[in-house]
């Protein structure tokens, strides 16, 4: 069971990934984690990655695909995996499909979490977290507010706001999603492996939608 999650900022992709990994014992494959691990390895590929970083260049899709290929052939991926942060573009999706075909693997399920833009913005702008325990609150929604204004319920310390949790940053990230990642929806719909999930509802109901599709398809 292999899964790709497509979602705009604040749609709940991270939360959903955690739930699916727990429910189905899936491996979690993050391109960011793969790169961080690779740069510490003494291999030709690691040296190639470090060379790109030193030059201030983006790591090529071919290198990312090689890292992913090496990872999905490991034993813990035999039950399935969730791809986090990949693919982001049509070009990456096409190369990923070629790699899957070469290794006789299936793309599995592709879920797109649809969410209204203003709701997503509210989740971003209202997000606060405890610097001590990491618990996350949201001052835009009554059921996610702290009991005492701007104070962690557990640690009793002042909550903090990430620098990029603002409207300007959200608008830029959402625009990138629309321009670069959203076209993947059409790409995977044509392959008949894409499922739309309602991201405007409670996270438990959203998760149930996904589980129902997996267990009844």
Residue 102 in any domain: the answer is yes
CA distance 166 to 163: 7
Check if 162 is active-site: yes
| Lateral strand order in the sheet of 194-198 | 27-30, 81-84, 2-6, 109-114, 194-198
Catalytically annotated residue among 78, 162, 191, 203: 162
- Whether 147 is catalytic is no
Indicate which CATH number applies to the domain containing 46: 3.40.50.300
In a domain, 147, yes or no: no
Tell me if 8 is assigned to some domain: yes
Q: How far apart are CA 80 and CA 40, in angstroms?
A: 26
Q: What is the pTM of this model?
A: 0.84
Question: Would you give the DSSP letter of residue 180?
Answer: I
Asked if residue 182 belongs to a domain, the reply is: no
The stretches in the chain having pLDDT less than 70 are none
36 is catalytic: no
Q: d(Cα 154, Cα 156) in Å, to the nearest integer?
A: 6
- Write the CB contacts of 190 (distance below 8 Å, at least 6 apart in sequence): none
Catalytic site includes residue 117: no
- For the stretch 189-214, pLDDT in tens is 999 999 999 999 989 999 999 999 99
pLDDT digits (tens, 9 = 90+) for 15-43: 899 999 999 999 999 888 888 888 877 78
Is residue 57 in a domain?
yes
Which residue of the set 135, 161, 173, 211 is catalytic? 173
Domain span at residue 67 reads 2-113+187-215
Residues 71, 121, 123, 127: which is the catalytic one?
A: 127
């Amino acid at each position: 069971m292999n899964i790709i999650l497509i979602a705009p900022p604040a749609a709940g992709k991270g939360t959903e990934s955690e739930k699916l990994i727990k429910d189905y014992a899936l491996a979690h494959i993050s391109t960011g984690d793969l790169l961080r691990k690779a740069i510490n390895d003494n291999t030709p590929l690691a040296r190639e990655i470090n060379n790109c970083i030193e030059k201030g260049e983006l790591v090529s899709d071919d290198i990312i695909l090689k890292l992913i290929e090496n990872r999905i052939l490991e034993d813990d991926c035999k039950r399935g995996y969730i791809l986090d942060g990949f693919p982001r573009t049509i070009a990456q999706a096409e190369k990923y499909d070629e790699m899957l075909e070469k290794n006789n693997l299936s793309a599995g399920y592709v879920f797109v979490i649809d969410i209204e833009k203003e709701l997503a913005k509210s989740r971003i702008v209202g997000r606060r977290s405890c610097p001590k325990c990491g618990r996350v609150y949201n001052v835009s929604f009554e059921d996610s507010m702290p009991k005492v204004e701007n104070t962690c319920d557990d640690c009793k310390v002042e909550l903090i706001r990430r620098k990029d949790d603002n409207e300007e940053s959200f608008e830029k990230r959402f625009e990138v999603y629309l321009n670069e990642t959203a076209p993947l929806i059409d790409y995977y719909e044509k392959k008949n492996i894409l499922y739309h999930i309602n991201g405007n509802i409670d996270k438990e109901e959203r998760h149930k939608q996904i589980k129902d599709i997996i267990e009844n398809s």
